[in-house]
Each structure stands twice: as C-alpha cells, then as structure tokens.
Amino acid sequence: MQSFHPPNRVLMGPGPSDVPSRVLKAMAQPTIGHLDPAFVGMMDEIKTMLRQAFCTDNAMTFAVSAPGSAGMECCFANLVEPGDEVIVCINGVFGGRMKENVERMGGTAIVVEDNWGEPVSLDKVEAAFAANANAKLLAFVHAETSTGVRSDAKALCQLARKNGALSLVDAVTSLGGIELLVDEWGIDAIYSGTQKCLSCPPGLSPVSFSPAAADKILSRKSKVRSWFFDLSLVMAYWQGDGARTYHHTAPVNAMYGLHESLVMLHEEGLQNAWGRHADMHQKLKIGLENLGLEFVVEEQYRLPQLNAVKFPDTVTDEAAIRKDLLQQHNLEIGAGLGALAGKVWRIGLMGASASDANIDKCLSALSQVLAKQ
C-alpha cells in the first residue's frame, strides 16, 4: 500500500463541487481539542456566519457533524413524534427520502406528488391541508437536485403557517446558490450541506430551527428516537454558555473548512454569490443549447446551480460519454437519478464550480466527446 493521491478533477456534477485551495489549506491546519477555547470561539463564528448565510436570527443554528442526509434525519427525528401527520411533497428523489424519514420516526406521511421536473404544486398542498386538519408539519425540497427544479419556498411556508403547521425545508442545494430567506419566508426547520454551493468537502450539514420549532421540540411527549440527533443533547455542546459539555467529538478539521468557506462567502457577499450562479447559468445554457441539449425543466423553475439536460437521440451510450469526460478531460458531470436515470445529465454549477473557466472547459469537452460519438 502507498499513499493515495486523487486525480485532478473538475467537478460539475450534483456535488461535491470544486473546493478552493483556501478551504483545503484551512483543513490541513493542526488538529486541536474540540473543547479548546480557540475551537469553541471558531464554532461561535461558524454559527454567526451560518445565520448570515441562512438570513436568520435563529439561536438554534449550527452544523450537524455528518453530511446533508444527516441534517435531514436530525430535523425529522426532532420534529416528528409517533402518530404525527406530516404533509410531504415529492417531486424527485429527495422528497421520497423525506417520506421515508417521517415513517421511520413513527409518523404518518400524507404525500403530495408532482411530476419529476415540475415544482411542488401550491394547490395540491392547500388541498392536502384542507383534507388533513391534524397535519402540523409541511416538508418539501426547495432545490430538487435530482431534476434541477426550484419550488416556491416562500409561498409553501406561508401555506403551512396559514394552516397552523410548521415548515421543514431541504436546502442542501439552495444554500449559497439561490435566494433563501429563512426568517422572511417563515421557514421553521432547514438543513443544508457543505459540498454543494458552499464549496466545502462533504461531511457537515448546516441546520437552523425557528423559535416555534424549538418550542415544538421542547414540548415533545416522547424522547427523540435518535440519541445522536437529539437536539436537547447536541445543543449543550453547541450552545452551553461557558460550560459546554461533551456530546461527540466534533470533526475539528472539517469545521476549519466550513469556517473558511463561510468567510469566503462573506467576502463575496451573499447576493453576489446568488448573482454569480445566475450569470453562470445563463452562459452555460447558451452553450448547452448550441450543442443540441435540451433542458428538462421549464425556464422559470430552473435552478442555476443544477442543469438537467436531455441529450440528442444520436447519443446511444450516455455512460460512455461521461466516462470519456472523466478519463480524457478530468471532468465530472452527473448522471440522471431515479426516474431520470439514463435519460439526462445533471451539470452542476455549484459554489466555486460556477466559473467562466469551468463552463468553457465543460462546453469544449462536451463538444469533443459528442462529435466523436
């Protein structure tokens, strides 16, 4: 066995995205104790910068020590009790996982289904509330990475509130890439990931809970079914004033990376980051259409950071094209997922990957491999 040296790839799939060397260098710094005052001070800065990125004042804002899926499970574990009815919107892979989470926590999922590639229908959600007066939680995916569709998070959260329910939002792909206003939109629980538009390596999941969500958690009748995700225990580590207690050993160096990526987001400015993703999407769109690729999602619902495109009929072996891109051009793009497997490519413009240089590389590599087939 010898040391591992990864190849030098350009990452334009559905995540992870390219990680800037500043973030990698931050992570290569010496490990210190996870209760060291210097580390605790850095955690406080992470909380402050996450609040800015989420546009929230929520006290309960921190990073779960595991990837986005763990943030998802943390939210459902704390907000769903056995017997609870939860309206779950499914318009792609990740909505399906939300349903799975509700059921594993002992809740009943009331499913609102929409076609893959279409946003969550407000009318259907309204009807679901009308038919299920006991539903006290609405769960949906803001940016569905499996299809590249954006749902109207603001309107959905307003619907939840109007019906006396809390909202639980998957923002794994939206945070840092498109407008996301947790407080203004009235989002009650939200989870994200580091390896999409924050351009950090995978492994942490930023989350935030509104005061109403915190009340719901504090007034639970039963213990949270997961020990690791039980927020009443986790918060003693993230919040304990002066006297933080050991819960688990935080992934110290991963936190350095998140801290640095949030500093970079702060330097760029949140609005500017959203604007850059939008501009890069316009540029990529023109190039992809010139190559004969068609978007899956109607223009007004498209995510700039995840471009799902159908390839021309002349492409008989799409996997061979992705293999060529990877092996000859060091470029990773995403395959279709779930119902769209084998039918589309998913080209990511997330975080640092949303750059002129990446788009130029992607378009030139794609045109070469397409010409070959």
Ligand X SMILES: *Cc1c(COP(=O)(O)O)cnc(C)c1O
| Residue among 72 and 74 whose Cβ is closer to ligand X | 72
The whole-angstrom distance between residue 288's C-alpha and the CA centroid of its chain comes to: 24
- Report the distance separating Cα 69 and Cα 205, nearest Å: 8
Q: How far is the CB of 112 from ligand X (least distance, A)?
A: 17
User: Coil, strand or helix: which one is 82?
Assistant: coil
Q: How far is the CB of 72 from ligand X (least distance, A)?
A: 6
Residues 164 and 339: beta-carbon distance below 8 Å: no
- Report the distance separating Cα 256 and Cα 292, nearest Å: 42
| Residue among 172 and 217 whose Cβ is closer to ligand X | 172
Interacting positions 62-101 with ligand X (CB under 6 A): 67-69, 72, 94
Residues 251 and 205: beta-carbon distance below 8 Å: no
Q: How far is the CB of 239 from ligand X (least distance, A)?
A: 24
* x/- letters, 202..221, toward ligand X (CB under 6 A): x-------------------
Q: How many residues bind ligand X (CB under 6 A)?
A: 13
Q: How far is the CB of 69 from ligand X (least distance, A)?
A: 3
Q: How far is the CB of 142 from ligand X (least distance, A)?
A: 8
121 binds ligand X (CB under 6 A): no
Count Cα atoms within 13 angstroms, Cβ side, for 118.
9
Which residue number is nearest to ligand X in terms of Cβ?
Answer: 68
170 binds ligand X (CB under 6 A): yes
User: Coil, strand or helix: which one is 37?
Assistant: helix
- Report the distance separating Cα 94 and Cα 338, nearest Å: 10
173 binds ligand X (CB under 6 A): yes
The number of beta carbons lying within 10 Å of the beta carbon of residue 221 is 7
Residues that bind ligand X (CB under 6 A): 15, 67-69, 72, 94, 141, 145, 170, 172-173, 193, 202
